[in-house]
Structure 1
Amino acid sequence: MNLKNNIAVIIPAAGSSSRFDGKLPKQFLNIGHETVLEKTVNLFLGITSVKKIFVAINPAEKIIQSQSFYDHSRINIVEGGNSRSQSVLNALDEIDDDISIVAIHDAARPWLRKDHFNDLLSEFINDQNIHGVYPVIPISDSLRMNSKSGPIPVQREDFLGVQTPQIFYIDNLKKAFKQANKKDLNFSDESQLMEYAGFKISSIPGDTSNSKITYKDDLPDNHQQDSRVGRGVDFHKFESGNGIILGNVHIECDKKIVAHSDGDIVLHAIADALLGAAGLRDIGYYFPDNDPKNKNISSLKILQKCIDLLNKESLEPSNIDFVIVCEEPKIGPYVNYIKQSLSSILNIQENHIGVKATTTEKMGIIGDGNGIAVFAIASLRKGS
């Protein structure tokens, strides 16, 4: 069978995550720089044989509009129902007639591997005697069955855990739903529904890494870690003056930084690092030096503008590290003050801020005492 553009994927994502007990439904929780739902959907967007992806969402849920896949041409947002079955059925009604195979995958299984999906699909299309496949894994925990007299021990070898994705011929799945709806029946997954309707379904070994997020403990400890990193660099000349400002801290010396703004080179470098981590333009784009309004502007305003731009992308600073390069003044006595100042400005802990100072060993214009440079790096995380 030619699989090119012949498959649709349905992702029920309308649940309220009552067992998860979080501020947001678990499908919108951040795992690094993606939400759980983005990670799930983006995997299928990377599979060329998947023609359309149908994401069933609670119609009152507006967060969906901020998801990275929202405007993708292969994505269809459909109205979710009060149950998983209703959400899947709503999506089935939207699938074009030229689609013959449908896969249903839990929104809260973001760690599905592409090769595992392809293995399931291959098993399905190569066995003409079956109408669907679903993955299963052995149970590793001891089991007991609830009874009126208390939990009764059972043999775990007699049980299997059922996973998704589950793959079926779409016409058969529609027939199964029609039979179940006549008797007002509801099932926890589509494999049960298909078996009830008399279709032959085959179980395939699953993947233990394809786990489902049900409770908060199902998340890795570093689930909110973000890999977005940016760098910022700034150079300025010195002239005679009565002190300089670094990190919004006044440094006593007989110099002044030559700049169009107030010359806080530390805040400039940090701002560019934050903007770079977010994939945005540099501060020269937002504050051009040929604009009279920016003459002597406070670098705090520049940095606040950058933070506002990050917030629009639901991003916030995670940590920063920078090196100040100059022969003089000596920066060491001010390091703790600079950390305290930046902690307040950026709303991050002081132990997430690295401040270092060095010289050029008398080499170059900076070595001659005529200038200063800052090299900064910053990382971002998704906002809470």
Structure 2
Amino acid sequence: MVTVPITVALILAAGSGSRVGGDIPKQFRPVRGKPMLRHSYEALSAHPSISKVYVAIGAGQEAEAFAALHGLPAAIFVQGGATRRESVRLGLKAIATDGDADRILIHDAARPFLPSTVIDDLIKALDEAPGAVPALPVVDSLSRGDQNLSETVDRAHLWRIQTPQAFAFADILAAHEDWTGDEPTDDARMLMARGGQVRIVPGSEALNKFTFSTDFAGSTMPSFRSGNGFDVHRLVPDAELWLCGVLIPHDKGLAGHSDADVAMHALTDAILGAIAKGDIGDHFPPTDPQWRGASSDRFLAYAMQLARDDGYALANADVTIICERPKIGPFRGQMRQRLAEIMAVDIDCISVKATTTEMLGFTGRGEGIAAQATATFEKY
């Protein structure tokens, strides 16, 4: 039997953000309508390969940290230190005490927009080396000088190093425990000082670091994208009735190639429409046997990840279920909660409603159920 390595993540959010200014540490300041820390935590906690997410916070920051991550899978908070390196070391020690990590991704909360493809590439790179970092090639001209330029620097083989940085857990823990040098610029340098190899994977411009107050200027002017979705499925005997990821007791169920969750299909199409990525049939064709009987939460989670990878954050989603029976009201709270879990958003972003057609048409005759949905996203 092949053993899958256990991968955890550590987000560094213990700094004061003094270069940004203001009374609130930058990791808790709003970016795209939510605290900065929440963005990267959502991405890491939703990734299927990451089992736990630890967050290093500063003394007295517990209330802000809990508020920033409200409604998300519970974080494991660790007391950070006076420097970045000390926060990493304390985080590694806490994880080692838990004793269940083979690999770790160490990420700066000041880089809020984390594409899932970067996480995928980092984890894959650890199959071949004990360390991996995302990086972008330097494309601007480089020169040395003070008031005047004095020397041009060859930019070939120069890289802009980003986070998260991924490591074999035992190796990076040993590097931190044995370190006696000056304050390092990042964790990869510490592994390299011990002779550890560090692979480069493609970084992302979305991972740019928020350092100065001007970095927040563009994050407060959102643009909005909305999409609509509509779907219909027949009601048939001897089938389960799934709506918004909740199994509803009923004498009939919906027929379809997947589990026929008409509400999630409509919402998936709304998301794909908002980000101009086609429709559900383009990504999950009904002619493909691998999707026969598939749970529709896979479709919805996939569409949400596409939106995140393109830099979009959900503002709200509104689903309307159209049927005479069953009554939706008793299940509405469960439906909202389940959609929020699948989409990795706060439940306040999700609305579920129901209506009838006054006994008219196929829904009025109980032949099928229809659903329509609208999804609105912010992009900065």
TM-score normalised over the length of structure 1:
0.53
* Structure-1 residue corresponding to 2:103: 101
Local SS of the residue matching 1:59 = coil
What per-residue deviation string (whole Å, max 9, x for no partner) do you get for residues 213-252 of structure 1?
112333362536498x9xxxxxxxxxxxxxxxxxxxxxxx
Q: 1:151 to 1:97 in 2, by over 3 A?
A: farther
CA distance in 1 between counterparts of 2:157 and 2:49 reads 36
* Structure-2 residue corresponding to 1:187: 184
* Structure-2 residue corresponding to 1:72: 73
Q: How far did 1:81 drift?
A: 0.7
Indicate whether 1:31 and 2:28 are aligned.
no
* Structure-2 residue corresponding to 1:221: 218
Local SS of the residue matching 1:195 = helix
Q: 1:157 to 1:30 in 2, by over 3 A?
A: same
Q: 1:85 to 1:146 in 2, by over 3 A?
A: farther
Q: 1:10 to 1:69 in 2, by over 3 A?
A: farther
* Structure-2 residue corresponding to 1:291: none
* Structure-2 residue corresponding to 1:60: 60
Q: 1:196 to 1:21 in 2, by over 3 A?
A: same
Contact 2:123 2:166 (C-alpha < 8 Å) held by counterparts? yes
* Structure-1 residue corresponding to 2:90: 90
Local SS of the residue matching 2:108 = coil
One-letter code aligned to 1:136: A
Indicate whether 1:154 and 2:153 are aligned.
yes
* Structure-2 residue corresponding to 1:196: 193
One-letter code aligned to 1:201: V
Segments of 5+ residues of structure 1 without an aligned counterpart are 230-276, 280-312, 316-378
Local SS of the residue matching 2:206 = coil
1:345-360 equivalences under 5 Å are none
Contact 1:14 1:58 (C-alpha < 8 Å) held by counterparts? yes
One-letter code aligned to 1:198: G
What per-residue deviation string (whole Å, max 9, x for no partner) do you get for residues 315-338 of structure 1?
9xxxxxxxxxxxxxxxxxxxxxxx
Indicate whether 1:114 and 2:116 are aligned.
yes
Contact 1:10 1:105 (C-alpha < 8 Å) held by counterparts? yes
Aligned length: 229
Q: 1:142 to 1:278 in 2, by over 3 A?
A: closer
1:286-301 equivalences under 5 Å are none
Q: How far did 1:72 drift?
A: 3.4
Q: How far did 1:156 drift?
A: 2.6
One-letter code aligned to 1:27: Q
* Structure-1 residue corresponding to 2:311: none
Contact 2:118 2:202 (C-alpha < 8 Å) held by counterparts? no
* Structure-1 residue corresponding to 2:230: none
Local SS of the residue matching 1:219 = helix
Q: How far did 1:7 drift?
A: 0.9
1:1-384 equivalences under 5 Å are 2-3=3-4, 6-61=6-61, 62-69=63-70, 72-73=73-74, 75-95=75-95, 96-125=98-127, 127=128, 130-145=129-144, 152-180=151-179, 183-219=180-216, 221-223=218-220, 225=222
One-letter code aligned to 2:139: S
* Structure-1 residue corresponding to 2:333: none
Q: How far did 1:19 drift?
A: 2.1
Local SS of the residue matching 1:94 = helix
CA distance in 1 between counterparts of 2:120 and 2:106 reads 14
Q: 1:209 to 1:72 in 2, by over 3 A?
A: closer
Q: How far did 1:118 drift?
A: 0.7
Percent sequence identity over aligned pairs = 26
One-letter code aligned to 1:91: G
One-letter code aligned to 1:185: D
Segments of 5+ residues of structure 2 without an aligned counterpart are 227-314, 318-345, 349-375
CA distance in 2 between counterparts of 1:184 and 1:110 reads 29
Q: How far did 1:151 drift?
A: 5.7
CA distance in 2 between counterparts of 1:113 and 1:199 reads 26
CA distance in 1 between counterparts of 2:219 and 2:108 reads 22
Local SS of the residue matching 1:214 = coil
Contact 2:135 2:161 (C-alpha < 8 Å) held by counterparts? yes
Local SS of the residue matching 1:27 = helix
Q: How far did 1:141 drift?
A: 2.7
TM-score normalised over the length of structure 2:
0.54
Q: 1:197 to 1:68 in 2, by over 3 A?
A: same
Q: How far did 1:41 drift?
A: 0.6
Contact 2:89 2:177 (C-alpha < 8 Å) held by counterparts? no
Local SS of the residue matching 1:10 = strand
One-letter code aligned to 1:32: R
What per-residue deviation string (whole Å, max 9, x for no partner) do you get for residues 31-90 of structure 1?
2331110011111111122111111111122422312348733x1111111111110111
Contact 2:11 2:53 (C-alpha < 8 Å) held by counterparts? yes
Local SS of the residue matching 2:207 = coil
Q: CA RMSD in A?
A: 3.2
Structure 1 residues 17-26 or 196-205, which shifts more? 17-26
Larger Rg: 1
Q: How far did 1:93 drift?
A: 0.9
Q: How far did 1:153 drift?
A: 2.8
Contact 1:31 1:225 (C-alpha < 8 Å) held by counterparts? no
Q: How far did 1:147 drift?
A: 6.9
